[in-house]
Amino acid sequence: MSLPQTVITAADASGGLARGRLRQNGAAIRSLREKDGWHQPDFAREVGVTQAALSNIEREKRGTRPATIYRIARVLRVPVAAITREYDERDRSAV
């Protein structure tokens, strides 16, 4: 499994941007995709990835770039938080 990607997630207390680590939640992506009636090939095409890549993302066999996570969320019409897990940078455990 690949490491989580570093993305900007929120403003910190000083008003600056805080950096967090997000990783896709493959089960949530698949569940939301199926709930919306998307078949994997059509959804992959709409997101701009191959069906094989989407399959690997959903099974969490492959990490994905933050831009792809954002595209998936946009197509599903959900916030990014609905399809990601935040990881603690110190020990890489799910928060």
In a domain, 18, yes or no: yes
Q: Is residue 92 part of a domain?
A: no
Asked if residue 61 belongs to a domain, the reply is: yes
Torsion (CA) 53, 59, 63, 65 in degrees, nearest 10 = 60
Q: 50 with 79: CB under 8 angstroms? A: no
pLDDT in tens, 13-30: 444 334 456 688 999 999
* pTM score, whole prediction: 0.70
Cite the beta strand spans of 25-87 per DSSP E: 84-87
pLDDT tens-digit map of 41-51:
999 999 999 99
User: Per the structure, how many domains does the chain have?
Assistant: 1
Both tokens of 7, joined, read 């993305």
Residue 46 belongs to domain with CATH number: 1.10.260.40
What average pLDDT does the segment 75-83 reach? Answer: 94
